[in-house]
Amino acid sequence: MKAAKLVNRGKLALLEEDPPSINSSDEVLLRMVEVGICGSDLHYFRLGAIGHQIVKYPFTIGHEGLAIVQEIGQKVMTLKPGDKVVFNPAISCLQCDQCFAGRPHTCRYLKFLGCPGELEGCLKELIVMPAQNCFPVKEDIWPLAVLVEPLAIALYAAQMAGEIKNKKVAIFGCGPIGLCSLFHCYLAGASLIIAIDKVEARLEAARRLGAHWVDNPELKKEVNEIWAAQFDLAFDCCGDQQALNQAVSILKPGGKLIIIGIPEIDQISFDPHLLRRKEITIYNVRRQNNFFLQAIEFLQKNKEALKSLITHHFPLTDIQKAFDLASNYEDGAIKVTIKI
Q: Are 121 and 42 in contact (CB under 8 A)?
A: no
Give the residue among 123, 106, 105 at the shortest CA–CA distance from 114. 123
- In whole angstroms, how close is the CB of 112 to Zn ion at the nearest point? 10
Nearer to Zn ion, 1 or 96 (CB): 96
The residue (of 38 and 195) whose beta carbon lies closer to Zn ion is 38
Sort 90 into a burial class: Cβ within 10 Å, 0-12 / 13-18 / 19+. buried
Asked if residues 74 and 22 have their Cβ atoms less than 8 Å apart, the reply is no
CB of 97 to Zn ion, least distance (A): 8
> Which phi and psi angles does 188 have, rounded to 5°?
-80, 0
Cα 164 to Cα 157: distance, rounded to the nearest angstrom: 12
Per-residue contact flags (x/-) with Zn ion for residues 32 to 71, judged by CB under 5 A:
------x-------------------------x-------
Would you give the binding string for Zn ion spanning residues 78-117, x where CB under 5 A is met?
--------------xx--x--x-------x----------
For the bound state, the minimum distance from the C-beta of residue 47 to Zn ion, rounded and expressed in Å, comes to: 16
For the bound state, the minimum distance from the C-beta of residue 108 to Zn ion, rounded and expressed in Å, comes to 5
Nearer to Zn ion, 230 or 289 (CB): 289
310 lies in the binding site for Zn ion (CB under 5 A): no
Residue 254 makes CB contacts below 8 A (sequence gap 6+) with: 232, 278, 279, 280
Whether a cis peptide bond, with omega within 30° of 0, leads into 58 is: yes
| 132 versus 230: smaller Cβ distance to Zn ion | 132
Interacting residues with Zn ion between 175 and 234 (CB under 5 A)? none
Gap between the Cα atoms of 314 and 312, Å rounded? 7
Q: Which is nearer to Zn ion, 151 or 199 (CB)?
A: 151
Q: Which residues bind Zn ion (CB under 5 A)?
A: 38, 64, 92-93, 96, 99, 107
